[in-house]
Structure 1
Amino acid sequence: MVLDQQGYDELVMYLTHNLALFEKPGVVKPGAPTVIELIEDVIAEQVIRLCEQHNALSTEQRSMIVREVDGIVYDLQEVLSSVTDKRVTEEQRAFIEEFAGLVKNLFDSAV
């Protein structure tokens, strides 16, 4: 659906161009989630929004979306493996939320 599309390749390039955000210290608010917790939460929120906005999706299409999203989260875990268990900084939070929105946009376009 989207993993084999040019848009996903561009999204991965966008991530690689912003890896420095995950290599430098920053402001961490008290009670901040870990990087992987935030990734999972915001991606899940975007998938829920996607399914709510496209309520005519079949069960098979929703399952395909979930499988591809699992692949995207796996890719993120691989790329960010050295920081997934660290508390997310405010700068990282902003990037992850933007990235999740871009993932949703890819699926919106595919649907």
Structure 2
Amino acid sequence: MRVSGGQTMVLDKQGYDELVMYLTHNLTLFEKPGEIEPGAPRVMELIEDVIAEYVIKICEQNTELSTEQRSLIVREVDGIVYDLQEVLSSVTEQRVTKEQREFIEEFAGLVKNLFDAAI
């Protein structure tokens, strides 16, 4: 993988556009009430935690990544989290429902897949 200034790994790729569309098509999950488990985190907390876990996995699975490449991954993940925060701004402080948790975990897995494919 070659990284130069201004180049991105996933943010400007078709796969990311499709992922954003997938999120858009599933926004109703965040608009309807559902089962909230005791001690459920807030929507944004869960997004940050789950995506952070996947970033750690990416770096652990790809020990050959340079510091520059790891930094690029972190910057792009920050951009993805920012996009999620923008799209879900009206619900980021709500406790996650069971269905939302499943979606967020699936979405984060798809983000990881984008990075895996780029690496």
**Which residue is 1:29 aligned to?**
37
Map of 2:83 onto structure 1: 75
State the shift of 1:110 in Å.
0.3
Consecutive unaligned residues in structure 1, runs of 5 or more? none
RMSD of the alignment, in Å? 0.3
Aligned amino acid, residue 108 of structure 1: D
Aligned length: 111
State the 1:14 CA deviation: 0.2
Counterpart in the other structure of 2:58: 50
- TM-score relative to the length of structure 2: 0.93
Deviation at 1:12, TM superposition (A): 0.1
Q: What CA distance in whole angstroms lies between the structure 2 residues aligned with 1:5 and 1:77?
A: 20
- Classify the secondary structure of the residue corresponding to 1:11: helix
Superposition TM-score, scaled by structure 1 size = 1.00
Stretches of structure 2 that go unaligned for 5 or more consecutive residues are 1-8
The corresponding residue for 1:101 is: 109
Q: Percent identity?
A: 82
Which amino acid is the alignment partner of residue 80 of structure 1?
A: L
1:4 — aligned with what?
A: 12
